[in-house]
Amino acid sequence: MDRLSRSDVIFKIIAYLLISALVVIALYPLIYAFSASISGRAAYETGRVVFLPVDLDFQVYKILFARNGFWISYTNTLFYTVFGTIWSMFISTTGAYALSKRKLLMRRQLNFFVVFTMWFSAGMIPLYLNYMKMGVDTRWGIIVAFGVQAFNIILLRNYFESVPKEIEEAARIDGANEFQTFSRIYLPMSTAAIATVTLFYATSRWNGYFWASILLQSANEKPLQVFLRTEIMTYRTLIENMVIDNLTFSPDSYAYAILVCSIIPILIVYPYIQKYFARGVNLGGVKG
């Protein structure tokens, strides 16, 4: 028994050390980026910034926040993320609910077509031509056109199929219609899966870059990631051309500040729904 107890203690020590090391590895790039963004120019360029900031200087954030393009793109991204996620969840939950019903006409064929889109794609050029022909070059066009992902529908469908049929039958006996069954039984019982898929959609919308940069023509409609890409590509020239007396930060600090600002909202939201994440993926990924 003593030998077993020692083994358990050794195992726990090793496990905690490994987890701590992984946490440090995961957090270090973010901490370093933030430290570099608020460190003085001399400290950064001489390599004294390793973990914590040195010679605090917030001038770079004052310059970044003074740029109208930053706030316009930030507002656009919030718009795409909030309304895009709402639209995506509406389509995904209703579609998954319908596909989970065995009485649905041509259910097997419809499920096949949904899964088929995960295997095959027409390719970038045909997609681009279709998007342009359909007028997907506005804010609402981006929201509607990229409203659903097949994987998330399958995830929710499998979760809905795991809901006990006896509960639905009892609701039917009490006079509940299809909408009431969906909204009052399936949605409340699927909180974990819905929170997980919502995180998937919100993260995808927040990080959306490629199609937005190609399809959106107006600079006032482009999301934050497109703005960040443009700024990072030209930040050295941008900083050098700015008429700033006594520049106390490194041009690299400007790039780090942009990266930090793009990550903060996701870091704020994620802890509130991460408790549903593993449970939602596990239950939704196995057909009940």
Does residue 18 lie within any of the structural domains?
no
Does residue 127 lie within any of the structural domains?
yes
Does residue 48 lie within any of the structural domains?
no
pTM summary value: 0.79
Does residue 189 lie within any of the structural domains?
yes
Tens-digit pLDDT profile for the chain (288 aa)?
445 577 778 888 898 999 999 988 988 888 998 998 888 888 888 888 888 888 888 888 888 888 888 889 889 999 999 999 999 999 999 999 988 888 888 888 888 888 888 888 777 888 888 888 888 888 888 898 888 888 889 888 988 888 888 888 888 888 888 888 888 888 888 888 888 888 889 888 988 888 888 888 888 888 888 888 887 777 667 666 665 556 677 778 888 888 888 888 878 877 776 666 655 555 544 444
Following CA atoms 144, 131, 197, 102 in sequence, which dihedral angle do they give, to the nearest 10 degrees?
90
Does residue 153 lie within any of the structural domains?
yes
User: Would you call 272 helix, strand, or coil by DSSP?
Assistant: helix
Give the whole-angstrom CA distance, residue 197 versus residue 192. 9
Domain that holds residue 158: 61-285
The total number of structural domains that make up the chain? 1
Is there a contact between 250 and 239 (Cβ–Cβ < 8 Å)?
no
Does residue 20 lie within any of the structural domains?
no
Is there a contact between 199 and 265 (Cβ–Cβ < 8 Å)?
no
Ramachandran angles phi, psi of 207, nearest 5°: -90, 5
Does residue 36 lie within any of the structural domains?
no
Question: Which residues, 6+ apart, have CB-to-CB distance to 151 below 8 Å?
Answer: 118
Q: What is the pLDDT of residues 186-212, one digit of tens each?
A: 888 888 888 888 888 988 898 888 888
93: CATH: 1.10.3720.10
Does residue 243 lie within any of the structural domains?
yes
Give the whole-angstrom CA distance, residue 256 versus residue 250. 10
